[in-house]
Amino acid sequence: MDAISVAVVRHGVVEAVHTVHAAAVQDRTLVAAAGDPGLVTYFRSSAKPLQALPVARARDDLDDRDLAIASASHLATPDQLAAVRALLAKAPATEDDLECGPEPTRIQHNCSGKHAGMLALCRAEGWPLEGYRLAEHPVQRGCLAEVAAAAEVDPESIPTSVDGCGVVTFALPLERMARAFSRLESLDAGARVAAAMRAHPDLVRGPLSPDTRLMETLPGWTAKVGAEGIVCAAGPDGLGVALKCTDGAGRPLEQALRSFLAALSVDFPQTAPEVVRNSRGEAVGEVVVL
């Protein structure tokens, strides 16, 4: 099928159109695509469940809240910050050890849970805390290996760059991202990480985010949004999907994901229209699939 077009409509006038490419994989086979399933893009924060695997294996003292916040792009709510602080205490590490940068403080950075998990891994393995974000550090080399193994590609073939929070991010075709998610629960510690995310979807992001909403709505589904318009998800039957908005917008992701899942006979129900609001909180438009 063609790429998914998602429009923003204000009082009957199409104001913007976003193009979303998608891939679905099951049993290592591409079972559906919208647009270009070979589109190469960065995994960004959608890779967090894979990046949490090493610490989940190394630390049997971590509970579901710890692993959920280690896989999160949180919104710095009180409950989310409490989860980050609890993980730092278990590491043990402090806010000063976080290398994610201020937003406006280190612990309020939306990736501070992932960074706390990396610090906990350093403690478990006896690695230095300083520089854990850098490509040559064992933490980042391990994360590259995890992503490559999940996607079943040679790690040397994966282009890398620096993510928004300072750690390494990985570029893959959408089909390989979908494959990685389809295999998540079969990976060592993958079922533990996925179950933790499903148990605490509110820690993973927030009530208006498509990953949190999907996990709250569909039993057995695990999902993670990333920056620049990407979302990946996995179903209980080993179906993995990956979607990318080419202009980097996050606004069309939920409607595109809902449309793509519908083509796969998966019902991600919409309880209310997705609206565009102005600064007064008034509904002035809607987001729809064309």
Q: In the 3-class helix/strand/coil scheme, how is the chain assigned residue by residue?
A: CCCEEEEEEECCEEEEEEEEEEEEEECCEEEEEECCCCCEEECHHHHHHHHCHHHHHHCCCCCHHHHHHHCCCCCCCHHHHHHHHHHHHHCCCCHHHCCCCCCCCCCCCCCHHHHHHHHHHHHHHCCCCCCCCCCCCHHHHHHHHHHHHHHCCCHHHCCEEECCCCCEEEEEEHHHHHHHHHCHHHCCCHHHHHHHHHHCHHHHCCCCCHHHHHHHHCCCCEEEEECCCEEEEECCCCCEEEEEECCCCCCCHHHHHHHHHHHCCCCCCCCCCCEEECCCCCEEEEEEEC
Domain coordinates of the chain in residue numbers?
4-289
pLDDT digit string, tens, across residues 5-52: 999 999 999 999 999 999 999 999 999 999 999 999 999 999 999 999
pLDDT digit string, tens, across residues 45-87: 999 999 999 999 999 999 999 999 999 999 999 999 999 999 9
Q: Which of 198, 215, 186 is nearest to 25 (CA)?
A: 186
Please tell me the predicted confidence (pLDDT) of residue 182. 98
Please tell me the predicted confidence (pLDDT) of residue 271. 79
Please tell me the predicted confidence (pLDDT) of residue 272. 78
**Which residues of the chain have a pLDDT value below 70?**
none
Beta strand 40-42 with 160-162: parallel, antiparallel or unpaired? unpaired
Please tell me the predicted confidence (pLDDT) of residue 190. 98
At the topology level, CATH places domain 4-289 in Beta-lactamase (3.40.710)
> Which pair of structure tokens corresponds to residue 118?
């990396």
